[in-house]
Amino acid sequence: MTQPRRTLSDAERLDWLRLIRTENVGPITFHRLLEQYGSAKAALDRLPDLAKRGGRVKPLRVASKAEAERESDANRKLGARLLCACEPDYPEALAAVDDAPPVVSVLGHAHLLRKRTVALVGARNASLNGKKFAESLARDLSAAGLLVASGLARGIDTAAHTGALATGTAAVVAGGIDVVYPPENERLYRDIVAQGVVVAESPVGTQPQARHFPRRNRLISGLSLGIVVVEAALRSGSLITARMALEQGREVMAVPGSPLDPRCQGTNNLIRQGAALIESAEDVLRALETLRPPSLAERQRDLFSAPKPVEPDESELARARAVVLENLGPSPVTIDELVRGCQLSAPVVLTVVLELELAGRVQRQPGHQVSLA
């Protein structure tokens, strides 16, 4: 995210919404387009040509102004706000993440997102003792001044929100800001809206699907200084959140459990791999005491120290497209590897990848990787 922190005008916010809702534009591509063209409006103007140069035959579906206005109005009717990643009220820790969502919906008390945050996640089919511990831990961490974030799922998430509710908790949902999942958490959701804050990346009305949950998980860890995992099997979604937290430079902590309980194998393995062992709120506070929220300002300094991206000329790009496609395959490679393998300059490779992604021929993968679609 390289845009200076400022409040956008209503027109600019609609442009941001149109750009991120456009076909084949994900968060990383969005930020790359802003770096290249300076504004969402300028990027929108260039999209059809970029996709065509990448080999797209049928027109790219660009979100219309009317669609963006409808989404904005739907949020307003719910009492929710749309926050863009450059705006002062957007959580700074999340804005510092490479694939920070350019636009989020926020319902409830948005000021809570300025607090130091810790995430509590774990098994949906949690044991009674696991849920009791998570609720108690969340209550103590909340009393110590931290905002407790989780995903509103069954089990540990529900216990964490319940424990922290009195002083405010953040629920990050996989669907739209108005969609309660699971349905039995309807009352808890309403309590969180009244006393805490709900955050969503998907448009209003979106029903959560399997592919939405990993994206939701990166927001939970991105908001936080660190995450605490309470009960997780070896193939648990909570371990995906832990991996994302590590990639984002966050602290990973885990509560140990019985080796006889499959729900504790994942957490015990995290501790074996170096995660901080957590038995009380004091352990969490000790693990976090020397940490500070990731600084967007520092990341911006690094990005602004580099020259502003200059779009290569067409003759250079024409030669590069065949080389980049030849070096790509179904297995993901990092952008750095691609630049070295193609023996081309980084701006040329980045521009070609951008064109191919907008054309639907290349997909972004976790860890700054790309592959053929």
**Domains of the chain from N-terminus onward:** 107-296 (3.40.50.450), 314-372 (1.10.10.10)
Residues of the chain with pLDDT under 70: 1-4, 293-310
What integer pLDDT is reported at residue 234 of this predicted model?
Answer: 93
Rounded distance between C-alpha atoms, residue 43 and residue 83, angstroms: 19
What integer pLDDT is reported at residue 290 of this predicted model?
Answer: 82
- Write the CB contacts of 134 (distance below 8 Å, at least 6 apart in sequence): 120, 122, 126, 156, 159, 160, 163, 230
What integer pLDDT is reported at residue 302 of this predicted model?
Answer: 39
Rounded distance between C-alpha atoms, residue 76 and residue 156, angstroms: 31
What integer pLDDT is reported at residue 365 of this predicted model?
Answer: 84
Q: Select from 198, 232, 237, 193 the least CA-distant residue to 218.
A: 237
Q: Is the bond into 48 cis (omega within 30 degrees of 0)? A: no
CA distances from 368 to 119, 223, 306, 332, 357 (A): 24, 20, 19, 9, 14
What integer pLDDT is reported at residue 314 of this predicted model?
Answer: 84
Rounded distance between C-alpha atoms, residue 288 and residue 35, angstroms: 33
> What letter does residue 162 receive in the DSSP assignment?
H
Rounded distance between C-alpha atoms, residue 248 and residue 116, angstroms: 16
Rounded distance between C-alpha atoms, residue 312 and residue 323, angstroms: 15
Q: What are phi and psi of 371, to 5 degrees?
A: -150, 165
Rounded distance between C-alpha atoms, residue 259 and residue 220, angstroms: 27
> What letter does residue 177 receive in the DSSP assignment?
T
Structure tokens at 45: 């103007």
Rounded distance between C-alpha atoms, residue 224 and residue 276, angstroms: 16
Structure tokens at 36: 């290249």
Rounded distance between C-alpha atoms, residue 271 and residue 252, angstroms: 9
CA distances from 140 to 125, 143, 326 (A): 23, 5, 55
